[in-house]
Structure 1
Amino acid sequence: MNTLPAPTADDRAAWSHIDAADLRARADADLGTAWPQPLASQAARVHRDGDRVPWENPAFARQHRLSRAVVAAAVTLDDQWIDEVVDGVQLLCEQSSWCWPAHDDTFDRHGSVLATVTDPFLDLGAGEVVAQLAWIDHVLGTQLDARAPGIRSRIRHEAQVRVFRPFIERRDWHWLGLDGDVHNWNPWIHSAVLTAAVQLHEHPDHLIDLVVEGLDRYLVSLPDDGAIDEGYSYWWNGACRALEALDLLEYATDRSRRDLVGLRETVAFPHRCHLGGDWYANLADGQARPPADLPWHALHRAARRIGDADAAAHAASHRAAPPSEFAGLGRLVQELTDADWLAAAPAASPLPRDVWLPSTQVLLAREQAGSAAGLGLVVKGGHNAEHHNHNDVGSFIVTSDGVPVIVDAGRPTYTKATFGPDRYEIWTMQSAWHNTPTIAGVDQSPGREFAASEVEASVTDAVSSLSLDLGATYALDELAWRRTAALDRTERVVRVSDAWHGPLSDGPTTLNLVVAGTVSALDDGIRVVPLDGATPVVIRWAAGIRSAHTVRLLDDPMLSDVWGERLTRIELDVSAHDRAWITVERDDATPGTGDSEDDR
């Protein structure tokens, strides 16, 4: 059996020439400083006030520092870097739990707010640590044996106790998908267990059989269009992890890969979500402007193997980005040593003119293929029990030059409440803070039954549109609400029209529009100057509809790093109507008339 698909530090032809100056500079700055230390009181906070960040930040920082040291050690073979790696490995081995406290079920099982070391929970965090240790063992095994005999045995012991044994003995892990609910945890953890098994376990066949069985549940759940209902951000730690696991499975065991339509198509999902520049359609728990340090090499590798030239070009458009430790050590090692990736010339993202994903009922359209210039439109149907769901059926995004103007806010920093019964108390999850109507004072409800119906997509050279009924997404009897959102390329306008009937007398009915940028009032609408210097747009609606503005100030970096200090919600009161429309057009003129919202 082979081990992991990258050269070890003994291969000097592969490692001695690697520069990675930015990464090495960060590693140099670490030397002589105290290692980050996650504390018990920080772990307990998850149960006290729901705050995950105080424990997670130092835990993640410790692993990032260790990854930087591994690269420095592999490049230089300098004893100071080997010692740094040994220190980091030992700290991880002595950490009471590798599980992220927000995931641990120890409180339910044992009444403890701290990890129960005799009953370890196998989650994403444990998977990340064991995979990192496996890669360290692979890359620096010879050097660790020479510098710190016994440390590799300690790695294997901890892997056995914290990962292998729980994986085999406890088969009620929710992420296995035995109930048919398969999400990104499945391939993320299975790929980590596989990595550790082939490197650290003496007889891994049973572990590998269980990994294959579990991965199959995820793979067969992929729709034929390759879409991920968790959204673009989670593709990297869902479908991408599955693709990486299949590569490793074939490399290490010679087991053949599965040939599924959805598996081939999901490689295209990232570029099908691309709006332009560094902006993406961020449905579900995602950021419209994701972090810059995504593992583009992993996409490029998958695209090469699948044979998707467009996906490979999209990945290669990020070829100039410096290598980063933040996506995991295994991805970093492969990025630094993959000759095909290193030789890839920077390319242009394909930016397809139209994308229709029937499994998630998402339509993306732009004025012309290959260019973000002009207007763009994203519309979604679906239902309100999607993974990482927001109540957003019928919501839409409008872009100018690829920059979102009518936007999906995305997610805030995760807390314990994010994945608990209070999820929809969080404003970013509510339909009232998406581009959906509030009907008779009622917003959309969570649940599989709250779904779009009569969904019709139409794509022509002149117009691309999605039409759907939203009535069933509201807990209102006998409601019909037809929404049609269209990009008209001939007239260079986005139109969203609504028509409805039902018992709407119990409260106000408003159309909500969440916009990013500087908002100015016009006689018949508003003018928005978008972020990033994109061309301004004018949003208009029918005469006689009253409007109000609500400004949401942003103090969470997960949101403010994307949108700046504020988002503005436009509320159009259509209580006295049974139909309404808005239009969005670009405005290339100098700033329009009206007072700035900031002066109101």
Structure 2
Amino acid sequence: MGLITQPIEALPFSAFRLFQVNGSRKEFEKLYFDRRRRLAAFAIAALAEDDAAFIPALEDIIWALCEEYTWCLPAHLHVQDPEAEDDAPRQVDLFASETAHALSEICHLFKDRLDPLIVKRARLEVMRRVLNPYMQLKRVFGWEMATNNWSAVCAGSIGMAAIYMIQDSRILMPVLNRVFEAMACFLEGFTEEGACLEGLGYWYYGFGYYVYFAELLKQRTGGKVDLLLDEKKAQHIAEFPQFCFLQENHVANFSDCGRTSGIQTGLFSRLCQRLEQLRIPSLTYRSNSIDHCGRFATAMRDLAWTDYALLEKREGLPLRSEFLQEAEWMVSRCQVGGKLISFAAKGGHNGEPHNHNDIGHFVWVVDGVRWLEDLGAGLYTRQYFGDERYSILCNS
């Protein structure tokens, strides 16, 4: 209940402009994501506990999001022309898309519990900021042709928002067809064996939204469209974590990936329900339902989809050596002298997304201790994704 009593922090211009001034992202993004975590926390609490006490707080944070200058992060705004600044509220990036999905789904779930004005305004903002710009035939966003997480997260979020917001199938179908094209580009970014060259964290992010959209679409079409089972490559992609996890929560953290990772119980439950061959790592290490960015889609599906009985049946990765031929990743898990030893090595090339110039690098873990290490991802700044990328130690 403590969060309810804390005021919603403003998003000051001084923090907003820091990315432009010195490339720093963390000051503004901390405030921005605090708001999204608050949105997810109040919505999940109101659903899980069926407590009306959370509704006024949920209404306040929805109202605050509707007041924001733009739902885009400053780092993702591609507005250079001062005369075009009015376009910033209608720029669509990862988090504008996620915000649109979160508000549309919350309005659907709470339409009889929220003040009608809140529902009306949230839906208007979703249409004004995201769906209407996306539905303009002459406008194409760069991420629609991306072969990385952007195409799945942005298109998947927009597709889900459209399913909630647009009841007329004649209007909805052109939107979904455009989403399908972006999703096809997303799948192209994986190797044929299903490897995500961006690393496990981005597998969770991009493929998670692919699954979230696919499942809602399957529901909307009465099971007639099933992107998970209709796409053979998607099934291979679902198996990728089986290669990444070395032991316990340790992962082969090539590219921009953390050293350790938990499992998202909602996503893995749904994948295990759909794919009989899927195995999962240890259930001891579970990701927080509400992550550092406050992603509502993940938190909601952890609540709605998690099936611990099923996960327990699939728990435990085999002790064996595996090679992803196209990605040129090798992972080995074995038991020697009573010790669990895991080894991972990477070939590939330096033109990969989130590249770290890490050809030939390897990781060695013995009984939960990392003896040979990969530094993993660094702090995201303008310099991190610019010309100075390889002056940063972990990337070079």
Same fold (TM over 0.5): yes
Rounded Cα–Cα distance in structure 2 between residues aligned with 1:231 and 1:402: 20
2:165 pairs, out of 173, 178, 200, with 200
Deviation at 1:306?
Answer: 2.3
RMSD value, Cα: 2.5
Rounded Cα–Cα distance in structure 2 between residues aligned with 1:135 and 1:372: 50
The answer to whether the 8 A contact 1:45-1:52 is kept is yes
Instruction: Report the AA paired with residue 147 of structure 2.
Output: V
The 5 A counterparts of 1:44-443 are: 44-106=17-79, 108-110=80-82, 116-117=86-87, 120-144=90-114, 148-169=115-136, 171-177=139-145, 181-203=146-168, 204-254=172-222, 255-258=224-227, 259-290=230-261, 292=262, 295-310=264-279, 313-314=280-281, 317-318=282-283, 321=286, 324-326=289-291, 328-338=295-305, 340-341=307-308, 344-345=311-312, 348-368=315-335, 373-430=339-396
Unaligned runs of 5+ in 2: none
Instruction: Report the AA paired with residue 383 of structure 1.
Output: H
Deviation at 1:283?
Answer: 0.4
Rounded Cα–Cα distance in structure 1 between residues aligned with 2:332 and 2:297: 36
The answer to whether the 8 A contact 1:353-1:368 is kept is no
Distance of aligned partners of 1:365 and 1:342 in 2 relative to their CA distance in 1, 3 Å threshold: closer
Distance of aligned partners of 1:384 and 1:62 in 2 relative to their CA distance in 1, 3 Å threshold: same
% identical aligned pairs: 26
Distance of aligned partners of 1:212 and 1:402 in 2 relative to their CA distance in 1, 3 Å threshold: same
Rounded Cα–Cα distance in structure 1 between residues aligned with 2:320 and 2:309: 30
Distance of aligned partners of 1:224 and 1:372 in 2 relative to their CA distance in 1, 3 Å threshold: farther
Deviation at 1:368?
Answer: 4.1
The structure that has the greater radius of gyration is 1
Deviation at 1:137?
Answer: 0.9
Deviation at 1:141?
Answer: 1.0
Unaligned runs of 5+ in 1: 1-27, 431-600
Cα deviation per residue 1:561-583 (whole Å; 9 max; x = unaligned)?
xxxxxxxxxxxxxxxxxxxxxxx
Q: In the comparison of the two structures, how many residue pairs are matched? A: 387
Q: Which moved more, 1:190-199 or 1:161-170?
A: 161-170
Rounded Cα–Cα distance in structure 1 between residues aligned with 2:309 and 2:106: 22
Rounded Cα–Cα distance in structure 2 between residues aligned with 1:376 and 1:261: 29
Rounded Cα–Cα distance in structure 1 between residues aligned with 2:16 and 2:159: 28
Instruction: Report the AA paired with residue 32 of structure 1.
Output: T
Deviation at 1:372?
Answer: 9.6
Rounded Cα–Cα distance in structure 2 between residues aligned with 1:187 and 1:242: 6
More strand by share: 1
Rounded Cα–Cα distance in structure 1 between residues aligned with 2:311 and 2:247: 21
Rounded Cα–Cα distance in structure 1 between residues aligned with 2:87 and 2:56: 27
After superposing on structure 2, the runs of 4+ consecutive aligned residues of structure 1 that deviate more than 6 Å are none
The answer to whether the 8 A contact 1:380-1:394 is kept is yes
The answer to whether the 8 A contact 2:249-2:285 is kept is no
The answer to whether the 8 A contact 1:353-1:367 is kept is yes
The answer to whether the 8 A contact 1:194-1:208 is kept is yes
Higher relative contact order (CA 8 A, sep 6+): 2
Rounded Cα–Cα distance in structure 1 between residues aligned with 2:221 and 2:11: 37
Rounded Cα–Cα distance in structure 1 between residues aligned with 2:148 and 2:201: 13
- What secondary structure does 1:92 align onto? helix
Rounded Cα–Cα distance in structure 2 between residues aligned with 1:287 and 1:35: 30
Distance of aligned partners of 1:282 and 1:245 in 2 relative to their CA distance in 1, 3 Å threshold: same
Rounded Cα–Cα distance in structure 1 between residues aligned with 2:297 and 2:386: 32
Question: What's the TM-score, normalizing by structure 1?
Answer: 0.61
Rounded Cα–Cα distance in structure 1 between residues aligned with 2:306 and 2:189: 33
Q: Which moved more, 1:197-206 or 1:272-281?
A: 197-206
The answer to whether the 8 A contact 1:374-1:400 is kept is yes
More helix by share: 2
